[in-house]
Amino acid sequence: MQNFPASAKNKAIKMTQKIEQSQRQERVAAWNRRAECDLAAFQNSPKQTYQAEKARDRKLCANLEEAIRRSGLQDGMTVSFHHAFRGGDLTVNMVMDVIAKMGFKNLTLASSSLSDCHAPLVEHIRQGVVTRIYTSGLRGPLAEEISRGLLAEPVQIHSHGGRVHLVQSGELNIDVAFLGVPSCDEFGNANGYSGKACCGSLGYAMVDADNAKQVVMLTEELLPYPHNPASIEQDQVDLIVKVDRVGDAAKIGAGATRMTTNPRELLIARSAADVIVNSGYFKEGFSMQTGTGGASLAVTRFLEDKMRSRDIRADFALGGITATMVDLHEKGLIRKLLDVQSFDSHAAQSLARNPNHIEISANQYANWGSKGAAVDRLDVVVLSALEIDTQFNVNVLTGSDGVLRGASGGHCDTAIASALSIIVAPLVRGRIPTLVDNVLTCITPGSSVDILVTDHGIAVNPARPELAERLQEAGIKVVSIEWLRERARLLTGEPQPIEFTDRVVAVVRYRDGSVIDVVHQVKE
């Protein structure tokens, strides 16, 4: 038997392998021709090439400028943000300042909501950096300037559920989402309760992470991989940049989400709790939500004794979760918390320690087009109002002066979906009536509202006579909304009507995307 040198043997093996590879390629090509298939044939490449292209730190950017550049942002695109930090948000201003310095123009800004802290956007609008806005709410100097006609195009006001619908329908196409989080790993896994800037639920950010073409994560802290639990996951994130601060968590529980000590608000809250108890919906396994506003949030506090005395437990509480709800949950009175936004630091920290405190996205919360929105399983919701009229229409957006100073939020989403919707509001605020003949701006139609609770009496929508009957049987006095309106008139007189121009400064979108109202510029 003839022995070949090792080099010759290796050469022969390589030749055979090359022939076999060529034959394999021909087999694939022949199959493609027979099957009339246009699938690409495999192209071999070195492992080192792949690993260079897929470097482990490939998502990390040295600074915000690099992240914006790599995101592919161009003039005319849409940038988005979430508002989990509420009045303590630092991300929007930081990102928009850098975007402005880089020379971008004609951008659509789509934040889940905007607040007093976003006043610096006024200058970016004046300079043409931002030309369109989608948001749930507006407050402070930004709202005042837009009310005076700062934006060339009307701001689009949507509900929390309605925003998801606009995104999924294709009207609101997010090109680049800039999402501020307290911490994440270098692949993008993040939650809102690990780190110094603990904001809790990232329910609104989840929608942007799901739908944006590019997702840029801004984080205060980089943690070892894999960071878990992850509200936003690695396969949703394109780029990551470490910054000093994304938000001031101490300011989350300020303003509309504060817990009130006002005696009048507490009186209204106590009355609302009595209404709930005697409504027919206060029974074992019921569910509830309280919206923003002092009296609304305080209702939960007064329900505790009533739940204990009747040995009743709630299956879940929904929406913006507060310290009071966490307290009832930890006492066993509310079995589960479904949290789309944490309204204070106690709620934010609870997400980390309570397994039945469950984070949900805005899609799961209230999207009209969702396959399963939690609002559709809601028994009782308690909501506030800037104005309500004798048809039970509610305004939570414009003040008595016609200026934008509020937010649509989840108001119309929850009012129509819940079995019982209660509006809590003082009858008058100073010399200004809360109950009017016609609201300045309709956010929630009266057909969605069941009961109005004020400090001067309780009115039930005539469309729900069974509710009035139950309350009266329990000894709760019910009056007509017209009687309450007349009482408000006696206390305040007739306010001078506000004069508006023909120019529309805001378009109010209902949760299905339809237009329910428009806001005109106030005449100076």
CA 483 to chain centroid: 37
Span 150-158, mean pLDDT?
Answer: 98
pLDDT at 20: 85
pLDDT at 258: 64
Residue 9, pLDDT > 90, answer no
CATH superfamily of the 60-251 domain:
Glutaconate Coenzyme A-transferase (3.40.1080.10)
The DSSP-derived string for 198-240 is: -----HHHHHHHHH-SEEEEEEEEEEPSSPSS-SB-GGG--EE
Q: Which of 18-32, 102-116, 213-227 has the lowest mean pLDDT?
A: 18-32
**pLDDT grade, residue 4 (50/70/90)?**
low
Residue 1, pLDDT > 70, answer no
- Could you give the CA distance from residue 64 to residue 367 in angstroms, rounded to a whole number? 32
Q: Do domains 60-251 and 255-497 have the same CATH topology?
A: yes
Write the pLDDT tens digit of every residue in 44-94.
889 999 999 899 999 999 999 999 999 999 999 999 999 999 999 999 999
**pLDDT grade, residue 245 (50/70/90)?**
very high
Could you tell me what percent of the chain has a pLDDT over 90? 86
Residue 268, pLDDT > 90, answer yes
Q: What angle do CA 352, 356, 359 make, to 5 degrees?
A: 65
Residue 3, pLDDT > 80, answer no
Helix (H) or strand (E) holding 274: helix 263-277
**Distances 151 to 84, 107, 297, 396 between C-alpha atoms, Å:** 25, 12, 34, 21
CATH class of the structural domain 255-497: alpha beta
In a 3-state reduction of DSSP, which class is residue 190?
A: strand
DSSP label of 497 = P
**pLDDT grade, residue 5 (50/70/90)?**
low
Where along the chain do its domains lie?
60-251, 255-497
User: Which class for 166: exposed (0-12), middle (13-18), buried (19 or more C-beta within 10 A)?
Assistant: buried
- Could you give the CA distance from residue 115 to residue 134 in angstroms, rounded to a whole number? 13
What average pLDDT is seen over the chain? 95
CA 253 to chain centroid: 16
**pLDDT grade, residue 31 (50/70/90)?**
confident
- Could you give the CA distance from residue 497 to residue 129 in angstroms, rounded to a whole number? 36
Task: Provide the token pair at 473.
Answer: 């049987």
Write the pLDDT tens digit of every residue in 391-418.
999 999 999 999 999 999 999 999 999 9
- Could you give the CA distance from residue 209 to residue 57 in angstroms, rounded to a whole number? 20
Residue 302, pLDDT > 70, answer yes
pLDDT at 25: 85
b/e map 205-238, b = 16+ CB within 10 Å: bbbbbbbbebbbbbbbbebeeebeebbbbbebbb
Q: What angle do CA 265, 83, 445 make, to 5 degrees?
A: 55
Three state DSSP letters for 378-414: CCEEEECCCEEECCCCEECCECCCCCECEECCCHHHH
Q: Which of 229-238, 250-259, 453-462 has the lowest mean pLDDT?
A: 250-259
- Could you give the CA distance from residue 115 to residue 141 in angstroms, rounded to a whole number? 9
Residue 255, pLDDT > 70, answer no
Rounded to the nearest 5°, which phi and psi values hold at 170?
A: 100, -5
Residues 435 and 481: beta-carbon distance below 8 Å = yes
Residue 228, pLDDT > 90, answer yes
Span 276-297, mean pLDDT?
Answer: 92
Three state DSSP letters for 30-84: HHHHHCCCCCCCCCCCCHHHHHHHCCCCCCEECCHHHHHHHHCCCCCCEEEECCC
Residues 476 and 458: beta-carbon distance below 8 Å = yes
pLDDT at 257: 56
**Distances 386 to 164, 165, 320, 405 between C-alpha atoms, Å:** 25, 25, 19, 10
Residue 231, pLDDT > 70, answer yes
Write the pLDDT tens digit of every residue in 311-324.
999 999 999 999 99
pLDDT at 77: 99
Rounded to the nearest 5°, which phi and psi values hold at 13?
A: -60, -45
Could you tell me what percent of the chain has a pLDDT over 70? 98
Q: Cβ contacts of residue 8 below 8 Å, gap of 6+? A: none
**pLDDT grade, residue 34 (50/70/90)?**
confident
